[in-house]
Each structure stands twice: as structure tokens, then as C-alpha cells.
Chains A and B, each alone.
Chain A
Amino acid sequence: MLGTRVMSGARCRTECWWKRHIAEQLKQRDRVQRQAFEEIIHQYNRLLEKSDLQAVLSERLQPDKSDLQNRHDLSPGADEELTELHKKRGELAQNVIELNNQMQQKDKEIQTNEAKMLQYQQRISELEAECRELRNSLQDLERANQTLKDEYDALQITFSALEEKLRRTTEDNQELVSRWMAEKAQEANRLNAENEKDTRRRQAKLQKDLAEAAKEPLPLDPDDDIEVLSEDASDGAGQADVSPSRTPGRTPSKRVSQPPSGLLDSISSIFGRRSVNSFSGLTDGAETHTGACAEVRVPSTALHTFDAHDGEVNAVCFSPGSRLLATGGMDRRVKLWEVVSGRCEHKGSLTGSNAGITSIEFDSAGSYLLAASNDFASRIWTVDDFRLRHTLTGHSGKVLSARFLLDNARIVSGSYDRTLKLWDLRSKVCMKTVFAGSSCNDIVCTEQCVMSGHFDKKVRFWDIRSESIVRELELLGRVTSLDLNHDRTELLTCSRDDLVKIIDLRSNAVRQSFSAQGFKCGSDWTRVTFSPDGCYVAAGSAEGTLFVWNVLTGKLERTLDKHHSSAINAVSWSPSGAHVVSVEKGSKAVLWSDM
């Protein structure tokens, strides 16, 4: 046990010993190998660095030194310095000369600049003067302008004042006219009343006379008595005093036999005539239609042949008073002619249309003229002053026919665009458009009904209010023309099958058909016409012959040729019945009459 303890103690000691040995050895080693040399090597390296640095510095100093030496070599030589100075002086002199030269140059430059400045100043003053002048003229112009403006303003004021005056005057005038009209009406009323009173008085007197006459019977011849009575009545009331006093006494006995009836007739005829007279007195100013009662004479000779237009003449129409004649042609004009002593005298032209005229119509009073045109429009002129009043546009094709309705306030037009349009003249707008289905060649109107002749051979009857087709009538050829007789009971048609027909509007059937050897319809727009009394029909043929048929007999009444050289386009019979005018494809128009 002891032994092991000693062993372990020894081991411990040995352990410490070898460790201590190593530590000591290491210390020893460091002392010898490290600490002995550490400082020396450190110092050595510092010295090495220093020497290196010195070497570098010395290298750098080398060139400086050589410079310094050179300078020391030069300075002792005073001669060299002198020459140096001389040289410098020479250089300076040179410099002085050069600078002098430069100065001179600059002087010159200054001089030229001054001269230029002078020039510019002159120019400036010139320009200023010009500027002033211009400003003056501008002022003048402005003043003139102001003056003109003032004058214009003054004139404007005057103008407006005058306009105002004109307006007032017009109003006054209107008022006066209306007052005048009222007074006229009053006067007419008074006159009527007076007439009535007078009539009543006469009647009363007559009755009294008759009663008196009846009281005292006279043995007189009844025939004579009646004659006297009628004469008395027609001549005047004054003379009737004597004879009627005798007649009444006898009347009761005669009432059974025939004479009294004649007496009553004559009495009633007296009253009838009186009433007619009073009526005519009222409508004195207006142009009256003689119409059916006109004296129609079938033309036999050409009174006057004249060139109506440059080119084709398409339409012709007499005014309701028969005094004026209107023609329309491809030269875009409507011409007015006055029929004076068997001649047509040119009165004036209605211009405004942009293409050829296709149809013409006067209104019933004869104061307006309506023409349809190829420029898709219809136009209205006043006849008195030849002025264009309305242009009715809206169709998309040629307007082939345009007519006044009977109230003169509306117009119906038919166009190549296959529509009919109804226009109101007061508002100048299209009121209705009707799709007819075919190009419309001609139109006529009655109170309620519009009749249109179409390219598809049909005549269509329209109700104005319902704008629907009332009925249709198909012919054998394209319908070129329509016309109504005075009573508006018969419709005259012309179609391309060379037949002229009369259609009875009441029975709605063809009543008569006219044709003739050599009668040929010249175009789709050949217009035919009734005579004013409806007893004749006139139509122009393609060869230039005018045909007149008698409606009553149905026979051809007359053919008139040798005056037209080309197809007749339209015929118009004057409302007075005395004249017929035909126009042709050439430029001619012919006035026919029976004289």
C-alpha cells in the first residue's frame, strides 16, 4: 500500500516534472532563439528602410543639384548679362513698333466705325420720318374711317327710322283698306237693304194697285193689257201707275183661263232679274268666269305663229280672263303673252327655274302662276309683277305636273320620283307625301278628289283627306294628259295608245273614245284639252296637226295642219272660247281662231 502511494506521488511529481521541463525548455528556447534577436532584427529592418528611403531621396535630389550648379556657372559672366539685356531692349523696341502699328490700325477701325455710325444714324432718322409719315396717314385713315362709320351709323338710324315709318304707313294703309272694305260692305248692305226695301215697297204698291184695279173692272182686251204690263215693268215703275190700276180688277175672272199664268211669270221674272243685278253689282271687281255659257268657236285658221322659246315648248295655259297666255319651255322660262287683236305680244318672262318647265297653271283668280320644273321644284310667281313668290322643293325627281287645289291655298304636285306631294301655300311646307307607285305624268283636281295619270297606264283617284287611293282605272297606254270639263263631271285623258277618252266621273266608265287617222301621241307629256263648254276636245299630234273632235257627235270636227313642223306638246283653249293655242317640240307656238 505504501509502495503504491509512493508510486502515485512519484507519478504526480514526474508528471509535473515533465510538464515543467517542457515549459522551461520552451522558455529557454525562446530566450536563445527569439528574445536575443528580436530587437536586433527590428533595428536592422528600420535601418534598411531608412537607407532605402535615403537612396530614393538622393536619386530625386540629383537633378536639382545639377541645375544649381549650372546657374552658378552663368552668373559670373557680366558680358553675357549685358548682351542679354541688349537683346531684351531690342525685343522691347520691336514690341513698341508693333504696338504702334496696332494702335494705328485700331484708330482706323474707330474711324470707319464712326462713319458707319453716322450712316446708321442718318438711316434711323430717315426711318423715323417715314414712320411718322405712316403714322400720320394711318391717323388720317382712321379719322376717315371714323367719319364713314359715323355716317353709316347715321344712315342706319335714318334707315331704321324710315323703315319704322314705312311699317307704320303700311299698317295705316292696311287699316284704311280694312276700314274701306268694311265701309264698302256696309254700303253694299245698305244698298241691298234699300233695294229690298224698294222692292218691298213696290210690291206693296203693286199689291195695292192690283187691289184697287180689281175693285174697278174695265172692259179691256186682256192681251194688250199684259203687254203693257210687261213693258211697264221692264221700263220702270213710274209708267206702271196707270195700266196696273186697270188690270187687277180683271184678274179673278181670268185665273181660270190661261192669261194669269203669263202675268205671274212676268212678275217673277222681274224679281229674278232684280236679284241678279244686285249680285253682279257686288262682285264687280273680280274677274268672272263665263265658263259654260262662253261662246265656243271651233278654230279654223292660224292667226299668229311665233317663236315662243329657245328650244322645246312644253306647256301652255290661258289665264282665267283669257287675256293672258303663259308658255313654258326647256329654256327654263315661263313667258307671258297678251292676246291683242289676233296677235300674241310678249309681256314678260318669269325666271327662277333651274331647268325646263313641264307644266303651267294659273290660279282661279288669275293672279298667281304655278309651274312645275325638271329641277325637282315647283314655283309660284305673281302675274302682275313677274316676281317669284315660292319655291317648293322636296321631290327627288323631275316634277311633271303641279296644280292648284280649288281653294287656291294648296297645291298638288306629281313627280317622276313616283310620289305626289300636297303643299300648303300659307306655311309653304309639304303637308303630305303619297307614294303613287309610278311616275306621275299629269294631275287634275276636284273639291275632294285628286286624279293622277301615271306611267303605268293607270289613272288614280285620291281622296285628299285620307291620302288613299279611292279607285283606279287602267287604260291601254301610258297616260300623258288629264283635263276636266267645266262641271267637273267628265275627265279627258290622252294615252300613248293614241286614244283620247272621256271618262264619266259619276259612273266611272269610259264614255267616249276619240281617234283619227294620223293622230299620234307625240310624247309622254302630250297635253290635250276640253273646250270651255265641254263640247269639243282638242289634241295635237306627233306630226304637228291639231285635231278637234265634237263630243256630241263623237266625230272628228276639224284638223289643222301646215303650221307646226314638229310634234305638238300641248294645247290650251281660252276660257272665252275664242282662241286655241298649241305649242310644239320646236320653238313655235300657234294661235288659232275661227276668223
Chain B
Amino acid sequence: MADDKDVLRDVWFGRIPTCFTLYQDEITEREAEPFYLLLPRVSYLTLVTDKVKKHFHKVMRQEDLEEMWFEYEGTPLKWHYPIGVLFDLHASNTALPWNITVHFKDFPERDLLHCPSNSVIEAHFMSSIKEADALKHKGQVVNEMQKKDHKQLWMGLQNDKFDQFWAMNRKLMEYPTEEGGFRYIPFRIYQTMSDRPFIQKLFRPVSSEGHAHTLGDLLKEVFPAAIPQDDEQKKYLIVIHGIEPLLETPVQWLSEHLSHPDNFLHISIIPAPSD
């Protein structure tokens, strides 16, 4: 289990080097220097970009300041997806660091949600946890928790406190041993080229014969196209936390160890780079 704990740590402390640049049409009083930052993969954009905001505010006229939003190569970045998902989905094939453009004007109302404060992020985060627990334990565990336990989960994420978060999150990862896993695996499958934001279905970690389902089984059922046919060129990359796990990996283990803090297993399916 020592390896499993290391895995959890690595997942938690995963960072993405990012360079924030002000959109060139923004009116500044002085030249705006780019701002470099290591973004935690498991967190949310608006939760970790206070420094960015402050940095650009210095060179902006006060009257021009509106809600800040981010964009990568023309794609507005949804703050309610974990940062790692956004990076894997949109920028995994580009050279580091990740260049994000910062906007203070022309908020893309159609593509993005407003995020006036951290309490909105908290509400989104908690609702995700509750949804995941509903799938895993019919919501029993999260409902038995007290308000302060919920707060502990959130504060652990907000302040990047691994031990604080996992002391509480451990309970959410428990399951009755005789069943061999959760009721259903909370997962979301993201694609770059799709109208649907993500795929989410009911999927049991254990088959009716008692075998543990693997990632391959999951994809076979939910997204068969992602599995390369016999001897065919690999068309898609299955990426979780910036890595490609083997298809033989059991989904129960994945759900326990590679889930984001919101308890969902976010799987990005991106087209394989054509050399």
C-alpha cells in the first residue's frame, strides 16, 4: 500500500507550468509582463489565480476591470473542470509551458459560467462529491458527515493540504469488502471533438461473474472507438492525470487512487498525435 499512498501523493501534487499572458487587445497603462505559475492539476483555475489577477491589475486601468477569464488558443477554459483535465484535453500535445491568455473584457457568456467568488467553486465542488457518493454508496457516507467534515474537505483542497483532505476523503473511498467495490464507478469521459461536454454512465466495478472490471472493459462499453482494433494504428490516447494507464488497470483501483478530489475519475480521450 506504500506505493498506493505515493500514487495518491503524486496525483495530489501534480503541477502544470503555466504562462499567463494578457490578451493583446486589453488596454494597459504599462507593458504587462507575462506571469508564470505552477498550477495544481487537481484544483480549479479561479481558485489558484489570485496572484495572476493581482499581477495584471497593477498595469490595468481600474475602470477597465471586469471579470477575469482564461482562454487557450481560442478556446475559453471552463473553470469548473479540474485544471489537469483542461490541460490534458486541450494542451497535452503542445510544448510546455502552457500558454494561457488572460481576458478582462468580453466575457464569453455562452461558453463559461460566472465565478464571482470562491463560495461558487465550493458549491460546485461539494455537489460533485455528493453526486459521486450517490453513485458509490447511495449518498450515505456524505450524508452522514457533518458540516465541519464537508468544510474540512473543501479547506483541504483550497489550502492544498493533502493530509487534511485525505483524512476525510478516506471515508468516501471505503466500500464493503464482500461486494469488492463501489456500487457504480463515478467517472466522466471528455473528448476534444464532441458536442457533449462529457460521457457519464452507470458502470459497476465488478462484473456479474465476479471479475473486476478494467479500464478496457469500461471503454469498451462506453466509448468503444477508443480501443484500437487488432493491429490498427492507435487513434486515441486515454489520459488520466497526464498519464496513460494500461487498459488492464482495474477501474475500482483507478477510482480509488486516480480520482480527482471531487471523487470523479476524469478520463480525457484525445486524438493521438500524428507524427
A-B pairs with beta carbons under 8 A, tally? 77
Contact of B236 with A by CB under 8 A: no
Interface of A is mostly: helix
- For the complex, what is the distance from the CA of A52 to the CA of B33, rounded to whole Å? 11
Q: Do A41 and B244 have beta carbons less than 8 Å apart? A: no
- For the complex, what is the distance from the CA of A45 to the CA of B97, rounded to whole Å? 15
Other contacts beyond A32-B96, A38-B38: 11, CB < 8 A: A18-B248, A19-B253, A22-B243, A29-B14, A29-B243, A34-B15, A34-B16, A34-B38, A36-B96, A37-B36, A45-B36
- For the complex, what is the distance from the CA of A240 to the CA of B55, rounded to whole Å? 182
- Given A21-B245, A45-B36, do A33 and B11 touch, yes or no (CB 8 Å)? no
Q: Do A26 and B241 have beta carbons less than 8 Å apart? A: yes
Q: Do B33 and A48 have beta carbons less than 8 Å apart? A: yes
Q: Do A18 and B241 have beta carbons less than 8 Å apart? A: no
B11's nearest neighbour on chain A, judged by CB, is A26
Chain A residue contacts of B37, Cβ below 8 A: 41
How extensive is the interface on chain B, given as a class?
Answer: 20 to 34
Contact of A152 with B by CB under 8 A: no
Q: 9 interchain pairs (CB within 8 A)?
A: A18-B249, A22-B249, A26-B10, A29-B242, A29-B243, A34-B15, A37-B96, A38-B15, A44-B36
- For the complex, what is the distance from the CA of A34 to the CA of B35, rounded to whole Å? 16
Chain A residue contacts of B10, Cβ below 8 A: 23, 26-27, 30
Q: How many A residues, CB 8 Å from partner? A: 26
Contact of A256 with B by CB under 8 A: no
Chain B residue contacts of A48, Cβ below 8 A: 33, 35, 55
- Given A26-B241, A33-B96, do A19 and B3 touch, yes or no (CB 8 Å)? yes
Q: Mark B169-202, 1 if CB is under 8 A from A, else 0.
A: 0000000000000000000000000000000000
- For the complex, what is the distance from the CA of A594 to the CA of B33, rounded to whole Å? 164
Q: Which residues of B (222-250) have their CB < 8 Å from a CB of A?
A: 241-246, 248-249
- For the complex, what is the distance from the CA of A34 to the CA of B98, rounded to whole Å? 12
Chain B residue contacts of A40, Cβ below 8 A: 17, 36
| Chain A CB within 10 A, most for which of B13, B17, B241, B248 | B17
Chain A residue contacts of B248, Cβ below 8 A: 14, 18
Contact of A25 with B by CB under 8 A: yes
A34's nearest neighbour on chain B, judged by CB, is B15
- Given A34-B14, A41-B17, A41-B38, do A21 and B246 touch, yes or no (CB 8 Å)? yes
Q: Do A37 and B3 have beta carbons less than 8 Å apart? A: no
Contact of B66 with A by CB under 8 A: no
Chain A residue contacts of B242, Cβ below 8 A: 29, 33
Contact of B7 with A by CB under 8 A: yes
Contact of B6 with A by CB under 8 A: yes
Q: Mark A30-67, 1 if CB is under 8 A from B, else 0.
A: 10111011101100110010011000000000000000
- For the complex, what is the distance from the CA of A19 to the CA of B243, rounded to whole Å? 12
Chain A residue contacts of B15, Cβ below 8 A: 30, 33-34, 38
Chain A residue contacts of B96, Cβ below 8 A: 32-33, 36-37
Q: Mark B75-116, 1 if CB is under 8 A from A, else 0.
A: 000000000000000000000110000000000000000000
